[in-house]
Amino acid sequence: MQLYFLRHGEAEDYSADDYNRALTPTGRNRLQIAAKTIHQLSLKLDHIYTSPRIRAHQTAQIVGTELGIEPTVTELLNYGFNQVALAELINPYADDARLMLVGHEPTLSSVIAHITGGRVDMKRGGLARVDVPKSYLMSGALVWLIAPRVFDNLGD
């Protein structure tokens, strides 16, 4: 199974209403560049799932629009996302599925570390690919990690 972990883009400053923090204009712009690059990678995704928080949902919408895939909102990717939530999310899919998961820190990095045994630091707008057999989530391999600045440079 190919899992693509995408951290939401740059969002408004923290406020009392963290749930509704939207992407900044810079965050939107950078994600549109990233989405075009993701499209060029021809990932052939089966589905995109996103946290319900506004910034993550907006991120998924930008990428989904570029790829022609309507994202599905799920509480499983909200704060508290972990390997148990991941197992529930991927359960309906075959072992050859390709899924994008749009969420937050520190949970994305934590799940990646748990399933690969390696430490990563997911930057805002960064994308990681992890290959893992559905039957044994503890044996994933980090195939690549694209930092947002790489997307910026590829989009020039």
Residue 70 structural domain: 2-10+22-123+146-154
Residue 84: in which H helix or E strand, if any? helix 83-90
**Beta-strand relationship, 98-103 and 127-131:** unpaired
Residue 88 sits in a domain of what CATH number? 3.40.50.1240
* 129 located within any domain: no
Whole-angstrom Cα distance, residue 73 to residue 59?
12
Domains: count for the chain: 1
Helix (H, G, I), strand (E, B) or coil at 74: coil
> Which residue in 104, 35, 28 sits closest to 66, CA to CA?
35
Q: What is the per-residue pLDDT across 68-119, written as a single tens digit (0 to 9) for each? A: 999 999 999 999 999 999 999 999 999 999 999 999 999 999 999 999 999 9
The model's pTM is: 0.95
Using the 8-state DSSP alphabet, how is residue 11 labeled?
B
